Structure 1
């Protein structure tokens, strides 16, 4: 247990440059408090003390602003940064070394029973305000862009942006994942913009058409000048 607690603190110090020391992490990081409260709630949930489990999660939500259902399964190394507004549903499964930012929702759709929330693979980064809704898997080492709404399966090593979420980057070959904290890619601000790419492509096409129209006008003017020349 103490090894797990030390690892939770180390994860924050490794991934958040604002963390100055261990005491600050212990006292001031709501994401850490929410994870610890969830472990206790999950223990009672597994032993079918459902009301006690929900009461613990409700108290944790009141103090941290992070709602994690006691039934959610969370792996090691979860990093919750500025966790206000995060919601994690009952049948959510989160792998190891996952990073969640504020406003993320890992939710379900409809009223179906059973597995209805997403499965998040190892080393996934879900950026601010992203919504992952439904029972599908987000592949390992993927990145979900800020504000995206993901409604279907995400292959491993992919980058997803937009509403609805679209895969805009995916490695052609599967690389072997390294189990090192240094390999967690937190650069969720540098993501491709498919809308910008389409606009640039349209601008290029318009410029090409404009050039062709100008060439045609020039040729037409030359023909008109030739017809107007006096005969010798």
Structure 2
């Protein structure tokens, strides 16, 4: 039997190594092969952004760079900046993997890992933010603000480069989301469209919300000021939150009031937005 060429052997070894250490990337590449077979019209996108790459970081760099490409700052510069940032800070790679898994697990419209990477602007905007935040921390203010501005115009949401975002975050639909400069969003948070984490006036300094781990924020909610949304709490759609939210509670209304417990241990993972019908939960306890 003829021996395989060194190049084929090398590729097989690389694939085995990837499989053993990076299951998210391995699965995404397999899904890309399926897309290529089923949709030849997407071959340019799938081959250039995923199949020709050797790491998830490079694939994500390609995708966000192509989304933000502009004569002012061509895609190649954005791609190089993302790859350099991921090499300097491995936490970026860990975060984007957690974000992909979060979308897949929580969004009933997501069936494959490849979907957020290629198509979902919430994931893409988070990836852009991870680059702009890296640059911001290293004093590259103008490049980071450019990326914020470009992502806002192309993807329809606005996250300040200084905002601190955890891992495993899902921005569902994402249109209209605004997250201010001193905001903090911890791990495993789910945020729907048209949510604002903003200030409450013209104050300077630390002026934006702190959203703790496992929080679920419904569509159109506005959380304003330097307040804390406690871990594993829920903010109902359309609510305006102006004061601290205790952990493991549900708040609703304008202004928001406590209407009951969170209903489960991890609201951001369950994605259950329904309010209980129990009368005791609508007594109007202030927060």
Q: Distance in 1 between matches of 2:116 and 2:126?
A: 13
1:56 to 121, 126, 147: 147
Residue matched to 2:274: 189
Residue matched to 2:180: 89
Closer/same/farther in 2, CA of residues 49 and 193 from structure 1, 3 Å limit: farther
Note if contact 2:249-2:258 (Cα within 8 Å) is conserved in structure 1.
Answer: yes
Closer/same/farther in 2, CA of residues 64 and 169 from structure 1, 3 Å limit: same
Q: 1:55: Cα distance to partner?
A: 0.4
**Which structure 2 residues correspond to residues 113-128 of structure 1 after superposition, within 5 A?**
113-128=204-219
Q: Distance in 1 between matches of 2:199 and 2:167?
A: 23
| Deviation string, structure 1 residues 26-81 (Cα, Å, up to 9, x no partner) | 11110010000001100111112211111001111112111000010001111000
Name the SS for the 1:54 alignment partner: helix
Runs of 4+ in 1 over 4 A off after TM superposition: 191-194
**Which structure 2 residues correspond to residues 127-206 of structure 1 after superposition, within 5 A?**
127-170=218-261, 184-191=269-276
Closer/same/farther in 2, CA of residues 18 and 155 from structure 1, 3 Å limit: same
Q: 1:110: Cα distance to partner?
A: 1.6
Q: 1:190: Cα distance to partner?
A: 3.3
Q: Distance in 2 between matches of 1:7 and 1:185?
A: 16
The structure with the greater share of residues assigned to helix is 2
Closer/same/farther in 2, CA of residues 95 and 4 from structure 1, 3 Å limit: closer
Note if contact 1:104-1:131 (Cα within 8 Å) is conserved in structure 2.
Answer: yes
Name the SS for the 1:53 alignment partner: helix
Name the SS for the 1:184 alignment partner: helix
| Deviation string, structure 1 residues 137-170 (Cα, Å, up to 9, x no partner) | 0000000000000000111001000000001114
2:165 to 74, 96, 108: 74
Moved more, 83-92 or 9-18: 9-18
Unaligned runs of 5+ in 2: 1-89
Note if contact 1:102-1:129 (Cα within 8 Å) is conserved in structure 2.
Answer: yes
| Deviation string, structure 1 residues 195-225 (Cα, Å, up to 9, x no partner) | x968xxxxxxxxxxxxxxxxxxxxxxxxxxx
Q: Distance in 2 between matches of 1:108 and 1:193?
A: 33
Q: 1:5: Cα distance to partner?
A: 2.6
2:137 to 35, 41, 46: 46
Q: Is the aligned partner of 1:11 residue 2:109?
A: no
Q: Distance in 1 between matches of 2:277 and 2:121?
A: 31
Name the SS for the 2:270 alignment partner: coil
Moved more, 3-12 or 147-156: 3-12
Closer/same/farther in 2, CA of residues 155 and 32 from structure 1, 3 Å limit: same
Q: What count of residue pairs does the alignment treat as equivalent? A: 190
Note if contact 2:232-2:268 (Cα within 8 Å) is conserved in structure 1.
Answer: no
Name the SS for the 1:52 alignment partner: helix
Unaligned runs of 5+ in 1: 199-232
Name the SS for the 2:259 alignment partner: strand
Q: Distance in 2 between matches of 1:159 and 1:93?
A: 20
